[in-house]
Amino acid sequence: MTSKIWGGRFQSATDAVLEAINVSIDFDKRLGPQDIRGSLAHVAMLAARGIVSQDDAAKITQGLEQIKTEIDSETFVFSRDYEDIHMNVETRLAALIGPAAGRLHTARSRNDQVATDFRLYIRDTIDALDAQLADLQLALAERALAEADSVMPGFTHLQSAQPVTLGHHLLAYAEMIGRDRGRLQDARKRGNECPLGAAALAGTSFPIDRHMTAQALAFDRPTANSLDSVSDRDFVLETLSAAAICATHLSRFAEEIVLWTTPQFAFISLSDKFTTGSSIMPQKRNPDAAELVRGKSGRIIGALTALLIVMKGLPLAYSKDMQEDKEGAFDSLDNLALCIAAIAGMVRDMRVNRERMKSAAGAGYATATDLADWLVRRLNMPFREAHHVTGRVVALAEGRGVGLEALTLADLHSVEPRITDEVFGVLGVENSVASRTSYGGAAPENVRKAAQSWLDCLKAQR
């Protein structure tokens, strides 16, 4: 007979290969705090329902509290001999309080136990990520307010398109992060149901009170179907999906930081805190933090893909394949937290080269649309005709190697005689940006209002 807790019907030891592939304590030990919380709620319910005696419940509770202290102080000894966090805790409990420990597992299975532990962990992690993302939004809004008037080129196809401001650009990411927070909060809400009491797959014949344990663990309600309770990992998939989208946003911003810090762009610079040097080229200052955020997005997206593939062919209810739900999720969410911290740090650290950005904003005839709009407003020209006229003006300027604002009124008259010198008021990049007053537009006054709105909202959330 084996010494395994589950080994009553087994007569010989498991193979070393099975031991190696089956053990999960190396990674699921981080569920220790959640496992203790779930067990404390479970034993309190068992005692309240008269399923275990008050004396045994008191012993179990005392033992679990001691184990919690050992885990918190990092003195708990995790053993691969006991496979997972649940068996490690139960074995230690038995060593502390004796046979009463065996009553803790009444009316539950490791199937509903791990589902509960993991939901608690995901919920805790979402709360921590949300706080980090709120801090990143704060950093973006503060810098946006400071850079509301800092003109820079706006791009489409990575070609100069129209002037915007750095503040407006940063607030675009504040909006993205706001949606990321919303997705995580939605995942938390949908996943905030308690599987404990579903047991292995069919529920239990013991007179348990699942509402009591759900309330004790701050879940909104118990899960409604015992099969779904133990086989569902939607709460992980939704969280990883939100994490993957968030990582994509962070990666896009990281890519812009990489571009902006090049000598060719020179829009911003980062201090020694967020750059590294080269082992051979002493002049180099590499934006490694941004590059690693960009790179780590692949790991975060990959974790979502991996779990989708694990789950796609599983019949109800629990299968051991589902043990593969944790390592990728742990790694993904750990790295997302690191990436958020890195981006927030770089936003606060970056020094802005406003003159360089303003100069670049006028390149590529970025105010051409302003000229077309002026022709529509002042000459009552249909936009398609104005577009054509402006294209000819751009061709004229390009042929002479000058910007639109450098053309003379006579030059403009050679294309369209009705143009007046009033047009020069819209050809400068600052005038162009200032004119974008439509809701959500890049005008500095809009940016200041939007940035302040974000700051007020974020401070109210604290």
By annotation, the residues acting in catalysis are 157, 278
In this structure, are residues 4 and 10 in contact, taking their beta carbons and an 8 Å threshold?
yes
- Both tokens assigned to 403: 């910007």
Per-residue DSSP letter, 15? P
Per-residue DSSP letter, 221? E
Please give the backbone phi and psi of residue 415, each rounded to the nearest 5 degrees, phi first. Answer: -100, -45
In this structure, are residues 207 and 281 in contact, taking their beta carbons and an 8 Å threshold?
no
Per-residue DSSP letter, 220? S
* Contact partners, residue 218, CB within 8 Å, separation at least 6: none
In this structure, are residues 37 and 217 in contact, taking their beta carbons and an 8 Å threshold?
yes
- Both tokens assigned to 48: 């309240």
CA proximity to 243, closest of 140, 137, 330, 120: 330
SS3 246: helix
Sign of CA dihedral 31, 123, 293, 297: positive
SS3 227: helix
CA proximity to 143, closest of 457, 455, 413: 455
Strands (E), 118-170: 151-156, 159-165
Find the radius of gyration of the CA atoms of the chain: 30
- Both tokens assigned to 337: 């937290």
CA proximity to 250, closest of 300, 185, 303: 300
| Omega before residue 200 within 30° of 0, cis | no
- Encode 37-83 in three state secondary structure: HHHHHHHHHHHHCCCCCHHHHHHHHHHHHHHHHHHHCCCCCCCHHHC
SS3 228: helix
Q: Which helix (H) or strand (E) holds 151?
A: strand 151-156
How far CA 367 is from CA of 159, 388, 409, 426, in Å, comes to 13, 15, 16, 8
